[in-house]
């Protein structure tokens, strides 16, 4: 899910992912698919605690369960167990730190020769080998947002389908298509909370609607926020609070009325996770930098995520370490 300094919002059974940023040229080359899509390909989505998982073949082996995480700004993440099982070669290293700057880890970058999802094969996919925080047996890896840069990526939560297609989203003045920016490979959109305008990450690998304390302190709630869960970084632990908002939350033309939100002291941006996204069919066009939302209702109600939350203040990659470190 992360941009630098991002806190990963995960369910107790959710992944925390790692950001790896390569050069723009290397990303474009690595993400070139070996299979052309004539119209569209689709695959079923398995929703676990509202988060979308798909079956993936890696190097013609599998299937393996991977999380589709638009909040991960890299091609992929794999568990150490899967990397060992498939004997994935190490092609570089990433240095990981948390936003406090007090902790640091070094992780390997491994190469997956072929990753196949929904009948589309991606070649030479680089993945950070890292522990999948809190995932247990839920999945063996994560597919990040930038893997799908050459396609329209649709996550149809109500019908539990993933669709990859060629084409583009047409501008409609913000009615259903919202512009986004992605400075670190993660889509960030405009969000309105009452009269406050903020930026929010669209994070299918997250859980609920999460606010940083710096935003929450300016808002009114229906009741005093209370302790809801725990967060952990490489160096620190902290408490998550939760409450229902008094003002409405506006995402494009859709309104969340008195939404249940989590509040944390480490997350720098508002995070729109899989529980609010589960109300929508969401399509991403990375070429046009547009996101299209579709739902049967204009006014939506948001309750707590369907499992107790654990907030992971996710490691980030240092700006000074943006290139792969050659092996040997």
The model's pLDDT over 166-207, given as tens digits with 9 standing for 90+, comes to 999 987 766 789 999 998 899 999 999 999 999 999 999 988
* Euclidean distance between CA atoms 252 and 272, whole angstroms: 13
* Phi and psi, residue 175, nearest 5°: -65, -55
Mean pLDDT of 236-244: 87
Domain containing 52 equals 14-167
Sheet holding 226-232, edge to edge: 8-11, 309-312, 226-232, 237-244, 260-264, 209-212, 270-272, 196-202, 188-193, 249-251, 254-256, 299-300
Torsion of CA 240, 242, 245, 246, to 10 degrees: -120
pLDDT at 102: 57
pLDDT at 254: 96
pLDDT at 238: 82
**pLDDT higher for 267 or 3?**
267
Token pair 């935003």: residue: 215
Are 151 and 236 members of one domain?
no
* Euclidean distance between CA atoms 168 and 52, whole angstroms: 23
**Residue % of the chain over a pLDDT of 70:** 76
Could you give the number of structural domains in the chain? 2
Catalogue the E-assigned strands of 130-264. 141-144, 152-156, 161-165, 177-179, 188-193, 196-202, 209-212, 226-232, 237-244, 249-251, 254-256, 260-264
Q: For 11-45, write each residue's pLDDT tens digit.
A: 332 333 334 433 333 333 343 443 343 478 999 99
pLDDT at 12: 30
Q: Are 47 and 3 a contacting pair, CB within 8 Å?
A: no
**Which CATH number covers residue 101?**
2.40.70.10
Are 252 and 304 members of one domain?
yes
Are 153 and 183 members of one domain?
no
Are 200 and 137 members of one domain?
no
The answer on pLDDT for 5 being more than 70 is no
Mean pLDDT of 82-109: 81
**pLDDT higher for 55 or 23?**
55
pLDDT at 98: 55
Is 5 domain-assigned? no
Is 247 domain-assigned? yes
Q: For 271-313, write each residue's pLDDT tens digit.
A: 999 999 999 999 999 999 999 999 999 999 999 988 655 555 4
Are 151 and 211 members of one domain?
no
Is 319 domain-assigned? no
Are 236 and 115 members of one domain?
no
Is 3 domain-assigned? no
Radius of gyration of the chain (CA): 19
pLDDT at 172: 74
Is 46 domain-assigned? yes
Q: For 117-165, write each residue's pLDDT tens digit.
A: 999 999 999 999 988 876 667 899 999 999 999 999 999 999 999 999 9
Confidence of residue 58 (pLDDT cuts 50, 70, 90): very high
The pair of structure tokens assigned to 236 is 């620190």
Are 238 and 282 members of one domain?
yes
């Amino acid at each position: 899910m992360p941009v630098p300094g991002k806190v990963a919002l995960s369910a107790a059974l959710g992944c925390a992912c790692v950001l790896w940023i390569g050069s723009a040229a290397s990303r474009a080359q690595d993400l070139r698919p070996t299979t052309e899509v004539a119209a569209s390909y689709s695959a079923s989505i398995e929703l676990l605690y509202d988060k979308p998982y798909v079956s993936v073949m890696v190097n013609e082996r599998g299937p393996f369960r991977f999380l589709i995480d638009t909040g991960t700004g890299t091609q992929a993440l794999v568990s150490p167990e899967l990397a060992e099982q498939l004997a994935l070669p190490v092609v570089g290293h990433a240095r990981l730190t948390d936003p406090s700057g007090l902790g640091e880890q070094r992780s390997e970058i491994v190469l997956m020769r072929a990753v196949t999802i929904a009948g589309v094969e991606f070649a030479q996919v680089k993945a950070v080998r890292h522990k999948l925080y809190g995932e247990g047996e839920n999945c063996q890896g994560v597919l990040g947002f930038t893997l799908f840069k050459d396609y329209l990526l649709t996550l149809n939560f109500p019908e539990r389908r993933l669709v990859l297609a060629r084409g583009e989203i047409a501008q409609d003045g913000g009615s259903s298509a919202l512009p986004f920016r992605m400075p670190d490979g993660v889509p960030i959109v405009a969000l309105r909370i009452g009269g406050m305008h903020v930026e929010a990450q669209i994070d299918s690998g997250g859980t609920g609607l999460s606010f940083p304390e710096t935003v929450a302190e300016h808002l009114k709630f229906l009741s005093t926020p209370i302790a809801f869960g725990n967060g952990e970084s490489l160096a620190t632990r902290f408490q998550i609070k939760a409450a229902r908002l008094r003002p409405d939350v506006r995402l494009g033309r859709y309104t969340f009325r008195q939404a249940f939100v989590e509040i944390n002291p480490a997350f720098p941006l508002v995070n729109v996770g899989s529980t609010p996204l589960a109300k929508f069919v969401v399509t991403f066009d990375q070429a046009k930098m547009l996101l299209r939302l579709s739902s049967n209702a204009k006014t939506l109600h948001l309750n707590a995520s369907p499992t107790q939350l654990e907030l992971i203040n996710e490691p980030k990659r240092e700006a000074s370490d943006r290139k792969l470190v050659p092996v040997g």
